[in-house]
Structure 1
Amino acid sequence: MKKTVFAVTAIATLTLAGCIHVDADEHGRDAMYENTETALRVCGGEGRVKEVNEDGFKCID
């Protein structure tokens, strides 16, 4: 019984730990979000974006 309770507690703790999220700024927008939005506008749509990361983005030539 103790092992079962311990296992359930451990699983619940790990599940909740996965839900914790820290925003990059006070507005709730991080670099990836900002770069994705910019890439969609600059590249001309979803099908024209090659790569998006925290440092920037690349359009398909």
Structure 2
Amino acid sequence: MSKRTTITLPDSVFEELEEWADQQGRPTANLASFLVELGIRQAKEKGEYTPKTKTKDR
């Protein structure tokens, strides 16, 4: 199941994200979603984040 959220980014960050997504031929929202998932995965691996409940790894 997927959930939606809204974030506010500085213009410069959005422009770079948009350019990066364009270079990869994917939607900006898709790249942003991937990067959030990657950040959470890395935080778990480093012990910076420990979820209170178990979640399925993708």
Bin the TM-score by the shorter chain. Answer: 0.3 to 0.5
Structure with bigger RCO (C-alpha 8 Å, 6+ apart): 1
TM-score by length of 1: 0.33
Larger-Rg structure: 1
Higher relative strand content: 1
TM-score by length of 2: 0.35
